Structure 1
Amino acid sequence: MSGGLLVAGTTSDAGKSVVTAGICRWLVRQGVKVAPFKAQNMSLNSFVTKEGAEIGRAQAMQAQACRVEPTALMNPVLLKPGGERSSQVVLLGKPVGEMSARGYHGGRQQRLLGVVLDCLAELRGTYDAVICEGAGSPAEINLRRTDIVNMGIARNAGLPVLVVGDIDRGGVFASFFGTVALLSPEDQALVAGFLVNKFRGDVSLLEPGLDMLRGLTGRPTYGVLPFRHGLGIDEEDGLRISLRGTVRESNVAPPVGEDVLRVAVCAVPLMSNFTDVDALAAEPGVVVRFVDRAEELADADLVVVPGTRGTVRALEWLRERGLAEALVRRAAEGRPVLGLCGGFQMLGEHVEDDVESRRGHVPGLGVLPVRVRFAPEKTLTRPVGEALGERVEGYEIHHGVAEVLGGEPFLDGCRVGQTWGTHWHGSLESDGFRRAFLREVATASGRRFVPSPDTSFAALREEQLDRLGDLIEEHADTDALWRLIESGAPTGLPFVPPGAPGTPGASG
């Protein structure tokens, strides 16, 4: 086999990332040497590769599905939003500057097409198959001229396109038809068909609609994937996370000890790498909630202040909502608080920021003896160390440089009483360290909670990826997918104009 496929979606969050990962895991189980690819990703959830390159966590997860080491080639352009109108542009794993959306789409994006195509060509020359993920919708006609991630990459690389739709949202047939109908004839020629995602119920009830869709578009449906809980791993967008009442997917298994452990995560603006708490949620008996009100900290055994792309803005948000005062009071009472990356910086004495917010000297919460100065260069490393007598691995992504002035050493940061701070993302995925940390939290909180000695976060992640592969293998037309990846889009697919005869609302 030698080929590729672009997984597009009718909308954001249609399931492109998990479908791509599922196809990758299915292929690698067939003995295919496969790699993931996303030309351009907009996400605050990122990862550091072994060579020190920053890429989207979704592509790192997809690389794990492929059982290969992630590289910058798999996500050559990463956009990290710093607000509603600007993003940091990360090219081949390194930041190259801030840019407004208008400036990016006004010219910069198209100049990146050559870089993107070179990366894809290198991957295709190394692997038997490359499964590409699109972004948003391929029918964003206002952006088509500068598109390098959907039909722009498909057209230039000759990739067949599979369009995924989330039927749980409703309107999936209209979304499928509208997506195809809005494309040019040249783009439509690459759209091979559809994949229904998150279906609940009897598939036989859906089949008449799928037959009508084929009659209207001339394109088949390659599968209907059932709704499954707990498969939204390593989501891309921290900006869209729902705050009120959100509970991270967690084990329903009862706690090993007598008590559960309650974790509250402050849902700060521009929250980054909120996937850090997935390892906590994986523990039986640990309940993780995202909160945005001070009173929601009252019953928490542990409060996590997560990373953010806007440290100064997040500090202001904490103060406006009374969360800052609650955190300071909590630290003084010896109740557990963990600051990760930007959260660690906020817990310090002050932040000197002439890079990110350009606000200069800004007071921190003052609960850790740490002073932070933002540097123009971004720290991108994969450190290994020891804490609480256990080996710890992590990764760092930050402009802030912390000067630790006291306290007890804790990874790259420090600990004062039951307040902890570190830049190390992913540290809680180290099983022994996570258990030791949770034992400390339980003791400080007076909870009879015991971490499970059998929970392996890496094994749970592998199980999730296998479940994604099972979804494709059991509910998709894998023979047809194989032909599509190997041979490209079928020839002779009809052009579907908007308002075509036989469609609702058509005239004539």
Structure 2
Amino acid sequence: MDPKGAVLVAGTTSDAGKSAIVAGICRWLRRRGVSVAPFKAQNMSNNSVVTPDGGEIGRAQAMQAHACGIEPSVALNPVLLKPGSDRTSQVVVRGKADGQVSALSYRTRTAALADVVADSLAELRATYDVVVCEGAGSPAEINLRATDLANMGLARRAGLPVIVVGDIDRGGVLAHLFGTLAVLEPADQALVAGFVINKFRGDPRLLDPGLDQLGALTGRPTLGVLPWADGLWLDAEDSLSAVADGVLGRPAPPRGEQWLRVAVVRFPRISNATDAEAMACEPGVAVRYVTEPSRLLDSDVVVLPGSKSTVSDLDWLRRSGLADAVVAHAKAGKPVFGVCGGYQMLGARIRDPYGVEAAPGTDVDGLGLLDLEVEFEPDKHLGTPSGSAWGVPVTGYEIHHGRVVRSGDAPMLEGEGSDRGHVLGTHWHGIAENDAFRRLLLTRLAAEARRDGFTVADDTSFAAERTRQADVLGDLVEQHLDTGALEQVIRNGAPADLPVVTSGLARSAP
């Protein structure tokens, strides 16, 4: 197979399944020997990773790169917006932080960023046979069309055919698909080649009359109906969207006599929440997100994850009563583990003299569980460090403005982090993805929590689980999409004779 081309996967809504379907298409192509790369022009997420070329991109694009069998790079996600509040975001361009914007002020930057996006996509198309692009939000957000970088604006500029995905689990999917097409102006509609329905439960034949009518109304085929798939929760763009009843993943029964119950505090600006995923892959480890104090009462371990707005989230922690509950948990001798922003909160002081995340000159008390002082600096530290901890090798990645300016604690890792017995912390994200270290960490946390009946597994591979989930996505595409029709779209673009659907709402946009 040599399709040579590109396609844009758009969605009727956020969380319609764009990231997963892009990964599935990438995996399907990769398994057929096609050189393929993912691309997301503009992402808005606080879940990010550091690439081997030294930049920061959305974690979902790193997951998609894994599905392609390639290393992630800044070209895969040239614009990343990291929300620090309801109205402001940090802009990351080609992997490097480049100022703060509001929703309105961002519009003044999109013309220049469109050139960055175009150059990054051209770079990928020159390197790979196929580029599978992911939209952002929905192309039906016509109020944003004039400055759109990731949906129809990208499709028009690059001549990309578009497939629109709808999540049937939300209800009203046929109306969503029709309406998304209908509000687009004719030149945008001309690029929409077909539809995909995601997360269907039951007999797909029940959908056939509706799909036939949708095809008659729009002149576009539905390329497939993907069934609901349990167990797809690693590396989600928004990991919280994959959480059912607060529980992360599908906990496997314990190997020993007891479970280890892990509570991850869900900050309003939680960042890299995916750090808990590797723990949740282990049999007998039940990981859940919590937002109020009572949920800590029966927890063995408390995890404070990263935060895009550490000072603000620390204030929320106190106002919610969770700060007192975390301190009480630690004073009872039960373990607390902090990562990045959560690690900083565990210390004695946090200072922000330059106004990086708070007002200039902000100086606040931490929780006082570690002998640590942190100061924010304007330049963000990005890194992919490696070292050792407790006699085993460890790798991770760092994304933070806060620097440790004083520590009286023993290091947790080789020269990094804090270790006070039952209270631990590190700036390194991703360390629990190291299998040998994760087993030592869980064994120690269980011992500190006095869960003597918990036994860590010796055969869990986080990398293998990540690969398995990529293969599941590839199987879904291969088995449930019309891959022949998809190949034609990738190779030849949208058909030239597609009808315009009139709604009366579409208006011209550049």
Q: Which TM-score band applies after superposition, normalised by the shorter structure?
A: over 0.9
Distance 1:286 1:233 in 2: 15
Task: Name whichever of 292-301 and 240-249 sits farther off.
Answer: 240-249
Distance 1:387 1:225 in 2: 43
Distance 1:214 1:406 in 2: 67
**Residue in 2 that maps onto 1:386:** 388
Letter paired with 1:266: V
- What's the offset of the Cα at 1:109? 1.3
- What's the offset of the Cα at 1:130? 0.1
**Residue in 2 that maps onto 1:295:** 294
Distance 1:467 1:250 in 2: 15
Q: How does 1:233-312 map to 2 (within 5 A)?
A: 233-237=234-238, 245-251=245-251, 253-312=252-311
Letter paired with 2:223: Y
Match of 1:364 among 363, 366, 386: 366
Match of 1:50 among 49, 52, 55: 52
Change (3 A) 1:242 1:471: closer
Distance 1:264 1:232 in 2: 17
- What's the offset of the Cα at 1:445? 1.5
Letter paired with 2:412: F
SS in 2 for 1:494: coil
- What's the offset of the Cα at 1:250? 2.6
**Residue in 2 that maps onto 1:329:** 328
Change (3 A) 1:349 1:243: farther
Letter paired with 1:222: L
**Residue in 1 that maps onto 2:174:** 173
8 Å contact kept, 1:8–1:161: yes
Match of 2:473 among 468, 472, 486: 468
- What's the offset of the Cα at 1:473? 0.2
Distance 2:284 2:244 in 1: 21
Distance 2:499 2:45 in 1: 35
- What's the offset of the Cα at 1:444? 1.4
**Residue in 2 that maps onto 1:133:** 134
Is 1:446 equivalent to 2:445 in the alignment? no
8 Å contact kept, 1:18–1:232: no
**Residue in 2 that maps onto 1:505:** none
Letter paired with 1:454: D
Which whole-Å deviations, capped at 9, do the CAs of 1:98-149 have from their partners, x for residues lacking one?
Answer: 01010002x2112211110010001000000000000011111101011110
8 Å contact kept, 1:52–1:93: yes
Distance 1:230 1:102 in 2: 38
**Residue in 1 that maps onto 2:101:** 99
Distance 2:159 2:81 in 1: 25
- What's the offset of the Cα at 1:499? 6.6
8 Å contact kept, 1:42–1:237: no
Is 1:28 equivalent to 2:30 in the alignment? yes
Letter paired with 1:169: R
**Residue in 1 that maps onto 2:508:** none
Unaligned runs of 5+ in 2: 506-510
- What's the offset of the Cα at 1:331? 2.1
- What's the offset of the Cα at 1:385? 1.2
Distance 1:245 1:13 in 2: 17
- What's the offset of the Cα at 1:295? 2.1
SS in 1 for 2:109: helix
Query: How many residues in Structure 1 have an aligned counterpart in Structure 2?
Result: 497
Distance 1:97 1:450 in 2: 47
- What's the offset of the Cα at 1:417? 2.0
- What's the offset of the Cα at 1:322? 1.8
- What's the offset of the Cα at 1:407? 2.0
8 Å contact kept, 2:372–2:409: no
Distance 2:104 2:254 in 1: 50
Is 1:496 equivalent to 2:489 in the alignment? no
SS in 2 for 1:206: helix
SS in 2 for 1:408: coil
Letter paired with 2:445: V
CA RMSD of aligned residues (A): 1.4
Match of 1:72 among 68, 74, 77: 74
Task: Name whichever of 312-321 and 6-15 sits farther off.
Answer: 312-321
Which whole-Å deviations, capped at 9, do the CAs of 1:262-314 have from their partners, x for residues lacking one?
Answer: 00011112000101100011001110111112221121111000100111111
Q: TM-score, normalised by structure 2?
A: 0.95
SS in 2 for 1:432: helix
SS in 1 for 2:411: strand
8 Å contact kept, 2:243–2:249: no
**Residue in 1 that maps onto 2:411:** 409
Change (3 A) 1:474 1:245: closer
Letter paired with 1:58: A
Distance 1:214 1:87 in 2: 40
Which whole-Å deviations, capped at 9, do the CAs of 1:396-429 have from their partners, x for residues lacking one?
Answer: 0000001342222112211112000101110000
Task: Name whichever of 405-414 and 388-397 sits farther off.
Answer: 405-414
**Residue in 2 that maps onto 1:340:** 339
Letter paired with 1:182: V
8 Å contact kept, 2:15–2:241: no
Distance 2:109 2:204 in 1: 45
Distance 1:198 1:124 in 2: 30
8 Å contact kept, 2:41–2:150: yes
8 Å contact kept, 2:236–2:242: no
Distance 1:456 1:288 in 2: 17
- What's the offset of the Cα at 1:326? 1.9
Distance 1:366 1:126 in 2: 51
Aligned sequence identity (%): 58
**Residue in 2 that maps onto 1:506:** none
Distance 1:483 1:289 in 2: 43
- What's the offset of the Cα at 1:177? 0.6
Letter paired with 1:298: L
8 Å contact kept, 1:388–1:437: no
Distance 1:469 1:316 in 2: 43
Distance 1:272 1:217 in 2: 40
8 Å contact kept, 1:86–1:100: yes
- What's the offset of the Cα at 1:241? 5.3
